[in-house]
Amino acid sequence: DAKTTQPNSMESNEEEPVHLPCNHSTISGTDYIHWYRQLPSQGPEYVIHGLTSNVNNRMASLAIAEDRKSSTLILHRATLRDAAVYYCILRGYGSGNTGKLIFGQGTTLQVKP
Amino acid sequence: NAGVTQTPKFRVLKTGQSMTLLCAQDMNHEYMYWYRQDPGMGLRLIHYSVGEGTTAKGEVPDGYNVSRLKKQNFLLGLESAAPSQTSVYFCASSYDAGGSYEQYFGPGTRLTVT
């Protein structure tokens, strides 16, 4: 299973943009890059995913490097509610068609008012 | 549309007792998963199911059994609970195993074994 590397923690000020990086140098051609977040005492929540092109949705944007070895989750205006652990996960058929998600330590985002 | 629901939300067991955790999804998803999360850690896969009537082992299956008799339900059983099984348990479901499909998670069951 291809692995991802994320910083342990990051801080942001409220209403400022946040860029959360993720390295995945061993990504395979069929792996999608997924981001999930987990708010305190809640289950993980899907944020966004992409394969090659940059993606936008109502929650965030995902910028994918041209060589796909890294990606960045962008929260355009952080709010206090965005304080969570953010997980960057590769998902593809390489896991024996199980679809399982392999969670690392993630990045703990603190948002300061 | 309730998504993924889990029952119960909290439970305290004594060592050796048994219990069943219920996961239900109303999205007609084929794939269902049980994860556990220990304090300060990421989630780890216990068992999963790729369709009604099928189950398979994940990373940490010892001490747990599962059943998927109906497509919408995935049950996780602990036959003889141990303190090492104190954890938060999350159920998830997905339409497909492919990378273009996301997983939807339930709110979790917090289990304490004394």
Phi/psi-derived region of residue A38, left when phi > 0, alpha when psi is between -120 and 50, beta in every other case: beta
What pLDDT shows up at residue A92? 77
Q: What is the pLDDT of residues A28-47, one digit of tens each?
A: 888 899 999 999 999 999 99
Q: What is the pLDDT of residues B68-91, one digit of tens each?
A: 999 999 999 999 999 999 999 999
User: Å from A41 to nearest chain B CA?
Assistant: 8
Identify the pLDDT of residue A95: 52
Q: How far is residue A76's CA from residue B9's CA, in Å, rounded to a whole number?
A: 34
Answer yes or no: are the C-beta atoms of A6 and A89 closer than 8 Å: no
CB within 8 Å of B16: residues ≥ 6 apart: B80, B81
From chain B, which residues contact A within 8 Å (Cβ)?
Answer: 4, 31, 33, 35, 41-45, 48, 50, 56, 58, 90, 92, 94, 96-108
DSSP helix/strand/coil, A80: helix
**Alpha carbons A35 and A18: distance in angstroms, whole number:** 14
Minimum-distance CB partner of B31 among A43, A99, A102: A99
pLDDT tens-digit map of B7-35 = 999 999 999 999 999 999 999 999 999 99
Confidence at residue A98, expressed as pLDDT on a 0 to 100 scale: 75
> DSSP character for B19?
E
Residue of B nearest to A98 (CA): B97
C-beta neighbour count of A19 within 10 angstroms: 12
Calpha distance A60→A73 (Å, rounded): 7
What gap in Å lies between CA A59 and CA A64, rounded to an integer?
A: 17
Which one of B102, B104, B109, B110 would you mutate to disrupt binding with A, by most A Cβ within 10 Å of its Cβ? B102
Angle B88-B91-B93 from CA coordinates, rounded to 5° = 155
d(CA A51, CA B56): 28
- Pairing mode of beta strands A84-91, A107-112: antiparallel
Residue A86 has pLDDT above 80, yes or no: yes
d(CA A101, CA A89): 7
- How high is the mean pLDDT of chain B? 94
Residue the block writes with tokens 């890059």 = A33
Asked if A31 contacts A92 with a C-beta cutoff of 8 angstroms, the reply is yes
pLDDT at residue A93, rounded to an integer: 65
